Copies of this chain bind each other. A is one copy, B any other.
């Protein structure tokens, strides 16, 4: 089974974490059978943690886990923290392929996403 794990920073604001959970649900709806499991995890300030997220994938039978860092910039969280957590779990993850994708800010679709937002013209300051 191939699992997709979306990893966000995590926030003290519960609404912000819920926004990420809701995104994972929308990804699952769009992705359908492409992955056997869609899960969310947080680097800090919220749960499930990355360790818990990876274990959730394992206990559900994942043999391959694709981790997508939901970060806009390649800061130390993306470059160091996430790989270090996976490294620390090497024994538990033996026999499982863990793939870490580029963070979302690196996606070549980001230009299109922003141009599309800019064209939507939803909120006009000064509107009554």
Tell me the A residues contacting B by CB distance below 8 Å: 4, 6, 8, 11, 13, 15-16, 19-20, 23, 26-27, 29-31, 34-35, 66, 68, 70-75, 83, 86, 97-102, 104-107, 109-126
Contact = CB atoms under 8 A, between A and B. Distances in A.
A102 B122 contact: yes
Count copies of this chain in the complex. 2
Contact of A74 (B19, B75, B100, B101): B19
Given A16-B74, A99-B121, A112 B115 contact: no
A7 B114 CA distance: 11
Given A74-B19, A75-B16, A109 B111 contact: no
A113 B104 CA distance: 8
A16 B70 CA distance: 15
